[in-house]
Structure formats: C-alpha cells, structure tokens
C-alpha cells in the first residue's frame, strides 16, 4: 500500500510522515497540484492535509474566494484525479469549524449535528466535504472526513504559541477565572487517528470529530502549561465579562471568545466504530509541546 500525503512538510504532515516511516509514502509538492496524474500512479490512499489555513485577521480582499480556491477547488481537483487513478481511500482533514464556533455548556458537537460554519475558512471546508461525499457516491472512492479542533504540539504557532511564550516567561495572565470547557487535540493523537483511518475498514465514508477526550477550561490549560514547563503559574482572576469588555474596546473580541467560550466535541463515534482511544494524555501532550 502506497500513501500520498499532501502538506507533508507542515505542522501535522511532518509528524505523520515520521509515523508512517515503515510504509511506502509519497509526498506531494506544490507543483504537483497543476497535474496529479504522474504522482497518483500506484497510490492506494491519499491523506489531504494541504490547505489555506484559518488566520485570525485575514488580509485578503475576498477571503471566501481565496479559501475556496485552495480548500474547495484544489481539494476537488486532487480528489477527482485520485478517483480516476484508482485510489481506494481519500482522507480529508477538515475542521471543527464546519460544526460551528462554539457550543452550549454540556452540549458537545457530534458528527450528526447540522453544519454551521461561521467564517470563510469553515465554509470552504464544509463545501469541500459536500463535494467529496458526492464524488464518493459517483465513483466509489471511499472518503474519510476528520474534523479536529485546535491542534497543539511541538512547533505549534499562532495564539497557542503566544500563550505558551507568556507562560514560559512568567507573565501574569488575567485568565484565572475562566471556567469554560474546550476540546483540544494533541498532535500525536491526531496523527494516531489519521493512521487508524488509513487502514480501518469501518472508517470508510465516515465523518469523525477527534480530540484528546479530556476537555479543559482556559484556566486549567494555563496551569497545565506551567506545570509542563516547570515554571510558576501567575493567573489573575479577572471576571470574564471584564475581559470581554476590554477586548471589545481593543477590537480583540474574537480572541477572547476563543479563550473564554465553550467548544466541545464528542468523540464517542471514533471510540465505538473504530475502537480508537487517544494514546496521549493531555498532560503528556502539553509536556511534549512545552519541551520545545
């Protein structure tokens, strides 16, 4: 079995390639996207990681068109050529943003929930999912859709990295009274789940949410980061309403929403259908992340 990985040099891709080192793996490059015929020869499974990723402040004049160009059109171009080349399984890394931006307390997202993307990135991923399901129905190529929440691990960037650096430097953080619940997924857990979906027969033509299986408040996350880094935690218990008010005045309301809001996913389908259990605990995932 030969596996084609797109985005193999990225945050998730590098770890996936290392995990699959005992199998024949072929990595796609950007120039392959202009014509996939040669590289798809002899491929059994495609893992499509490459994407235009979500950013907090998108500078594009037309974000939806920009996201669709890569995440929808690029995905479908590859998938159609994969089906024509006889690829048996196409694994698409989507996003929890297809489900929505937040959950109500005690009401985690499930795969059965109606999609509710709220931004251009989530919309482009949702449209790609729809296209892939139709292509699967038309061609018989099995499609597996994986929707991870925030992925953390060695090399993580963006807001998670900024929070890490603040904790490592011992800066006081006004996050000591945030009692939300958020699902995260350690890089090694996501990679393990992708590997499971490559071979498990029951994964075919299914959509999965994936996480560490242990949700955290932002306060608990910061404490866990500090413990993993071996530094004292400095948390100031500022009320959430005060954080939200201050952030709104500074135009940072979206960041505070991610820090203070709930976003939980239910991974019971992955467990019941595939027998999958996250192999890495939150504590170990944070230790690996903070050790870099």
What is the set of active-site residues? 121
State how far the Cα of 85 lies from the Cα of 73, in Å rounded to an integer: 18
> CB of 173 within 8 A of CB of 234?
yes
Long-range contacts (CB closer than 8 Å, 24 or more residues apart) made by 115-122: 119/54, 119/63, 120/58, 120/63, 120/64, 120/66, 120/67, 121/52, 121/53, 121/54, 121/63, 121/67, 121/71, 121/95, 121/97, 122/54, 122/95, 122/97, 122/98
Residue 18 structure tokens: 């290392």
Q: Nearest CA to 93 among 132, 59, 140? A: 132
What Cα–Cα distance (Å) separates residue 240 from each residue in 184, 226, 261? 21, 21, 10
Residue 288 structure tokens: 């690996």
> CB of 154 within 8 A of CB of 289?
yes
State how far the Cα of 283 lies from the Cα of 264, in Å rounded to an integer: 18
Q: Nearest CA to 212 among 201, 227, 224, 202? A: 224
Q: Nearest CA to 95 among 260, 209, 221? A: 209
């Amino acid at each position: 079995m030969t596996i084609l990985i797109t985005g193999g040099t990225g945050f998730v891709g590098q770890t996936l390639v290392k995990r699959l080192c005992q199998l024949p793996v072929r990595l796609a490059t950007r120039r392959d996207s202009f014509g996939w015929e040669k590289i798809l020869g002899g491929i059994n499974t495609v893992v499509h990681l490459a994407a235009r990723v979500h950013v907090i402040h998108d500078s594009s004049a037309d974000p939806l068109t920009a996201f669709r160009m890569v995440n929808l059109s690029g995905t479908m171009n590859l998938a159609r050529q994969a089906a024509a080349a006889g690829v048996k399984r196409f694994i698409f890394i989507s996003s929890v943003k297809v489900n929505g931006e937040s959950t109500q307390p005690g009401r985690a997202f499930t795969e059965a929930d109606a999609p509710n993307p709220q931004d251009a990135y989530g919309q482009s991923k949702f449209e790609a999912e729809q296209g892939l399901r139709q292509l699967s129905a038309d061609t018989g190529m099995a499609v597996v859709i994986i929707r991870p929440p925030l992925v953390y691990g060695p090399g993580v960037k963006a807001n998670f990295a900024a929070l890490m650096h603040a904790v490592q430097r011992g800066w006081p953080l006004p996050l000591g009274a945030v009692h939300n619940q958020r699902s995260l997924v350690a890089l090694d857990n996501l990679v393990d789940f992708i590997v499971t979906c490559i071979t498990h027969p029951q994964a075919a033509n299914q959509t999965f949410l994936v996480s560490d299986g242990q949700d955290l408040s932002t306060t608990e996350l910061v404490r866990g980061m500090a413990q993993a880094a071996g530094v004292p935690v400095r948390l100031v218990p500022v009320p959430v309403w005060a954080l939200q008010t201050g952030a709104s005045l500074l135009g940072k309301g979206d960041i505070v929403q991610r820090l203070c809001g709930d976003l939980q996913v239910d991974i019971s389908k992955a467990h019941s259908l595939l027998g999958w259990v996250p192999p890495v605990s939150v504590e170990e995932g944070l230790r690996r992340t903070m050790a870099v």
